[in-house]
Structure 1
Amino acid sequence: MSLTVEDLTALQADHPDWRMELIKGEIVVMSPSGYESDEVAAEVIRVLGNWVRPRKLGRIAASSAGFRLPNSDLRAPDASFVLAERLRRSPKSFAQLAPDLTVEVKSPTDSLEAIRTKIQEFLSLGTRVGILINPDDRTVEVHRSEQAIVTLRDGDVLTVPDLLPGWEVQVVDLWAPEFD
């Protein structure tokens, strides 16, 4: 039996604290992320938002924002960006498009292959850039359709000039700080 967004919405009404995605007709309950991975995701959202909002380039959302994709899946990346001309106003419910940029941060329970598959699915549905941030080995993978994956490390600079002209962040600045 293939489930729909309406089925997910009904289940969400019964369980408002559950985070869920609809993937190929199946509802998947998402577990909470690890503290470190969520701190990294929050930093990505902060640095993106600080660049995007004053320039009115588009919208930044966190992991609870759902996207109803062209294949009818309902997915939620850890962070996302949609160009202003594609989403003039924030929808009350799910955005009915694929974001231009998705960011996934590996948490302790995540499989790298599952995250890479999710990014590739977004790319196949119209997302232009997918970023996988892995705090375990302090790497950042930049994915684009039909292009080789670019892997960045501490000492490198993350940029997305085709979507965010002039924006850059040192990879080392993405990681959770250590306080003495």
Structure 2
Amino acid sequence: MSSLTIKDLEKLQAKHPDYRMELVDGNIIVMSPSGYESAEVAFEFATQLLNWVKPRKLGRVTGSSAGFILPNSDIRAPDVSFVLAERLRKSPRSFAELAPDLMVEVKSPSDSLKSLRKKIEDFLSLGTRIGILINPEKHIVEVYRLGQDVVILTDDDVLTIPDLLPGWELAIADLWSPEFE
């Protein structure tokens, strides 16, 4: 069977606008909705990041609906992404044709850690500088950089990314969904 292309994805997406899809290695993957908790954690991460990035005009923060045409022609959409302003001066109407500088995946109950780690590795190999895997079930955050050991953070830690976002800090304990009495 021949590999599918971006045009094939666009046609299929036009026929089924309510489905989120990615193009990976010439195959179209239909993405299921995430779990409530994982969506809430992703939104919290994105909000914290956006609230710091936007007043400084450092770049663009997007959620899971923003697709990227990667250098290998895959179209992928991380749960949260950040692109430096100098790399994306204006938001494209369609997909951004680059790898984001930072991409974040949040484990949902239907996700496997293996597939999420593979997605992060793929992004890093295509130019993403930092990949983050957030596991709400275990209260663990894994930080990936190409060619470096994975950094594991827990509730007592603070995430910093001085090489990309100097001065930004995020307490890991602040990511998790609150419990109301």
Superposed pair shares fold, TM > 0.5 = yes
Alignment of 1:161-172 (within 5 A): 161-172=162-173
Shift of 1:85: 0.3
- The residue identity in structure 1 corresponding to 2:70 is L
- The residue identity in structure 2 corresponding to 1:72 is S
Which whole-Å CA distance do the structure 2 matches of 1:5 and 1:77 have between them?
18
Structure 2 equivalent of residue 19 of structure 1: 20
Shift of 1:138: 0.4
Q: What is the percent sequence identity of the aligned residues?
A: 69
Shift of 1:21: 0.1
- The residue identity in structure 2 corresponding to 1:176 is S
- The residue identity in structure 2 corresponding to 1:103 is V
Root-mean-square deviation (CA), in Å? 0.4
Alignment of 1:1-180 (within 5 A): 1-180=2-181
Shift of 1:114: 0.3
Shift of 1:162: 0.8
- The residue identity in structure 2 corresponding to 1:83 is L
The alignment partner of 1:60 has SS state of strand
Shift of 1:131: 0.3
Which whole-Å CA distance do the structure 2 matches of 1:145 and 1:68 have between them?
20
Shift of 1:154: 0.4
Shift of 1:71: 0.1
Shift of 1:52: 0.3
Q: Deviations over 1:137-160 (max 9, x none)?
A: 000000000000000000100111
Which whole-Å CA distance do the structure 2 matches of 1:104 and 1:177 have between them?
20
Gaps of 5+ in 2: none
Q: Matched residue pairs, number?
A: 180
- The residue identity in structure 2 corresponding to 1:21 is E
Which whole-Å CA distance do the structure 2 matches of 1:175 and 1:89 have between them?
32
Q: TM-score, normalised by structure 2?
A: 0.99
Which whole-Å CA distance do the structure 1 matches of 2:110 and 2:163 have between them?
32
- The residue identity in structure 1 corresponding to 2:35 is G
The structure 1 segments of at least 4 consecutive aligned residues displaced by more than 4 Å after TM superposition are none
Q: TM-score, normalised by structure 1?
A: 1.00
Which whole-Å CA distance do the structure 2 matches of 1:100 and 1:67 have between them?
12
Q: Deviations over 1:34-90 (max 9, x none)?
A: 000000000001000000000000000000000000000000000000000000000
